[in-house]
Amino acid sequence: SLTYEILQGPLSIAGGIAFGIVWGVLSKYVPEKNDPYVVPLRILMLLGGGLISVLGSECLGFGGAGPLGCVSAAFVSLLCWSQQGWEIEDNPVATAFEIFWMLFEPVLFGLTGTQIKINELEAHTVMLCFACLVSGILIRVVATVFVAIGSQLNLKEKIFVALSWMSKASV
């Protein structure tokens, strides 16, 4: 129903944040801090929570809640672990996830383009998307030039700054 569709956004936000808070607090206590395997258990706890969040939210029909649950669980976990004495900058779980990211980032961005089926796209839709993209770039450049009016940059430098702030890849 329309009411359910309207409520799905706020429910996804609330559900994702609630799951992240519960999972983050749980990760503070489940592998106790004096366990000899605390680092691998916390890595598995955070990884498992992320998978449960994303896959579970998809099964329940609240796809937006999953990524939000992952981010909030990582934040709350880090906060709880720092209260137990782990430094934020020197966190072994964060280091493990940095290594995971180095391995899986190329795979993620490589597979992103495979979702697009060129032969199924309509020319009219592609042209509208292209016009929207070009309009967004032009608006961004003009807005950046206006924002930087008080700076001591010349016009070419302002345009360079606007273009260098462009988002990367599919983000």
Higher confidence at residue 116 or residue 157?
157
Segments in 30-91 forming alpha helices (H): 38-60, 65-83
Sequence-distant (≥ 6) Cβ neighbours of residue 82 within 8 angstroms: 88, 91
pTM listed for this prediction: 0.64
Give the model's pLDDT for residue 139.
86
Most confident range (mean pLDDT) of 110-119, 129-138, 161-170 is 129-138
Note the pLDDT tens digit of each residue in 47-100. Answer: 999 999 999 999 998 888 999 999 999 999 989 888 888 887 788 888 888 898
Query: What is residue 49's predicted lDDT score, i.e. its pLDDT?
Result: 92
Please list, in sequence order, all residues whose beta carbon lies within 8 angstroms of the beta carbon of residue 6, skipping any fewer than 6 positions away.
none
pLDDT on residue 21: 95
| 128, pLDDT greater than 60 | yes
Pairwise CA distance, residues 8 & 20, whole Å: 18
Average of per-residue pLDDT values in the chain: 86
